[in-house]
Chain A
Amino acid sequence: MADTEALAEALGGQEHQAAYIFDPAAEAPVANRPAKRRRVSKKHAAQPEKPKENHARQFQPLLNGLESSECLQLRQDAFLKSWSRVQDRIDSVLRETNQSTLEAVTGFIKECTVERTDSRIPSALIITGANMASQTLLFEQLSDSLQTRAGAKVVLLRSGDASNLKAALRRIIFEVVANPSDAAEEQDLSLGNDGKRYLNYDLEALRSHLAHHPSPHVIVAFQDSEAFETGLLTDLILLFSSWLDRIPFKLLFGVATSVELFQARLLKSTCQLLYGRQFDVEQADTIVEKIFKTAVAHVDAPLRIGPAPLRMVLNRQRDQAAGVPIFVSSLKYVYMCHFYTNPFSVLLADNAPQITLQAEHLEVVRSLSSFRSHVEASLRDKAVSHVQSLLGDDDYLNRQVREQLNSSRSWARRSLRTLYILMCHQGQTSKFTQLYVDLLSQGVDGLNQLSDLVSSMRRMDPAEMMSLLNQIVTIIKDGDGNMGLKGCESESVPSVALLSGIVTDIQTLCREAEDAGRTLRSEYSGQNKIMRTTVIAQKVQLSHDAATLTSQDKSYTRLVDTVIEHVEALLRCERAEDVWLHEAWLYDFKTPYREVFMPRPRSVVQRALLRPHDYLACSCCNSSKDQIMPTLPATAILYHLYLETGSLINVADLWTAFFGIVSEDEAHGLDERTALVMFYRAMSEMRVLGFVKPSRKKVDHIAKLAWL
């Protein structure tokens, strides 16, 4: 059926056209010519339309299609709003990160006009790191800022654009000359303004153009300098330097490795033509961490991304060197998934407090796992009536759900504060992102960082302890603007007061101890014991040591104990999954992400061919083992046979085997010519899939290409 349909389509002729405009209206009987001819007159009526309106019907009703259109719309709006907010934040981070580099480079270019460094070409060596994807962004920004701020003409060269000297020159000249001119005043490039004709790779053309359109800098940027052929680079540099007195060339090199390696590739004489300065760009992983802080861990981030997808996104950054844009789009996709598939995402809308959930929503709420654990917990607390109304009273549940709306934010605040306090600890080595993911998945109790912190606090001397306490107090009081963590005095005033009180206490104790000519120490600092044991006999000394603690030391020890107790109480943060109704704001699924961003096409194709039943679900081809059934699609049969062959395949034998299999079935058995048709088709598909290629070793043989 599909066959005949496709064949009918094929007669239409468009399938054999390389490119055409799809227009079913015009496709009707007279579709021999593409539609483009006939649409000439209609086009001018095009009225501008807001692209936003395209979003109108994108979301599908959930809850078995029972979701009201109102909720649907809310969900969609919630997505647009929350993502655009996050996107803005990310954009500003990106803008800021490259800002310093941009300014430095622009400054360098500007200052070099005056200097004229003994006829050497000013060149900025920009250490971009290995990430190709972020290079593009950087160079586009550079080009923009140089054009606007330094009035320069910038040519971006990628290694793919310029394979030889002529092509490179042609491109440079074209870009510079065509840059300012709009489509209106297109001019013949080969025709100089003085009426002379130039070859299109003659820099003289550029010079004469510049005579009429003066520009202080002509900047040639080699984006991926490592990928350029050394000879080509050398030639270009030589040429530029010889034209330097007539054309103000400046160079930018994107260097992925290091300046030393870059220099080593060039001849010494060539290097001497350059007047270089090195500029470092912020590396991709620090940018990623910044984005992570503003977009993922931020208190105002509407959606909490769970540990599973986060780990995958972060691992992908590390394993595939995926780069910043991919990180951002991964986040975006997670947002899309959440709002597209989760009916409770409605609760993340701005006007959520006014929303009344549908009965279907509430039904689903009651089956949530977090609801169950909440109910169990309430029962443990003997709040029976609460539970009863939760189960029976829709209005009550609705109200309760609305009350929980802020749970995301409060959880985020708690978790961030915990994180910051943990990060204060000097010996803390793991990265913020890692710590965040761990906290998300295990809660603070599962972290060994906590016990590390506590045990090291015990051993701290008073100075260290005071600085730590001060840090903690600032964190609690001031928060962190970048993360949206506000100083939240209201709920934690007692702890702030307590901690700062302890700091002053320690200070006084210190002073007292100093006056007495001793150093203040706690019972836990093991240092003293060791010192003493080396001096005098051990047994006596150990008991003696405890006795030597002064009263200040003792009170200090007590203070340390209270501090630890308090900090432990402060660092309370459960797993995100334990929060009631976390389903509305936590997205913790692996599945669509991995398939969508890290596909395994090989195994998919392999599976389709090995076990077509998995896809077709037909009655005929179901076999427990990977047996060859005569009813399998022809290509699958051939693939099974293919797996058994060596590197060289005799087509005659393959055909015999194939025909043997196909004809054996009584019901569907094919006659020879039909089988041959299927064989042909399967063979050609095998070729298209890249499994075989022609071989000249023997007659009627093909070579195997893939070992799956």
Chain B
Amino acid sequence: MKVSYNELQGLCRKAFSGIGFEEGDAADAADMVAWMQCHGLHGVEQLNRGLDYLLAEDPEALTRVIYQDGDLAVLDGQGLSVLRSISLATELGFAKARARGLSVVKIRRCHNRQLIMGYLSRLAGRGMNITAFWRNAQVPLTEQVVGFRAGHTTPEVRVYSVRDVPEENEPNDGITLVMANHVELLPSLDPDHDLDLLAHHPESELLACRELALKEGIVVDDAIWARLKTLAHRILVESSDASRGGAGAGVNDND
């Protein structure tokens, strides 16, 4: 089915509230999904993949700061989806970069990482240069680099596979964010390395997707939409004859 951007954002916000997100988290998470979807980056599908995890997560679990100093922070995402409160970790990086010129934030143990792009877009819009980097634990190993230019809310995205990787046992479930207040950080691939570019989404392509989405509407899968509606229904209060008196005009209006 076809939906509008505002409709997608609104339903996601209600669905996240239905899952138990706090209001601010629900709004931020909805923005992240809708942003991804309208830029052609399959936000709804990404959400659907992580929805069962989200439903099973402990709503009281918080992203914890393991270490921080003036321009560096390491956080434990507690295995949660980035949709739940990860925005504060990125805001921490933003604050440090504003204060110190450049910051590095490492968020360990998180999933649904693609969706973080939607929140980074807001930080870039506030004038921050950002590079986000993460690895996907698959064979062959893939890396994703997302670069935002300060003031631009649309990034350039590259996904490539790395064939020649030194052996190591670090889990690939984190995100590294580098933010710079004054210096552009746009990454480019090094031709000397043995890399296979799997996907490249330049800023212009993503902007064109957004324009088309606003013009033609956004296609979403009926089943996922129905599932989100079911979750959104959790925030509604069953109606009764008494509650019908609690708002608006009379039930019958013949004047």
A pairs with B: no
B→A interface (CB under 8 Å): none
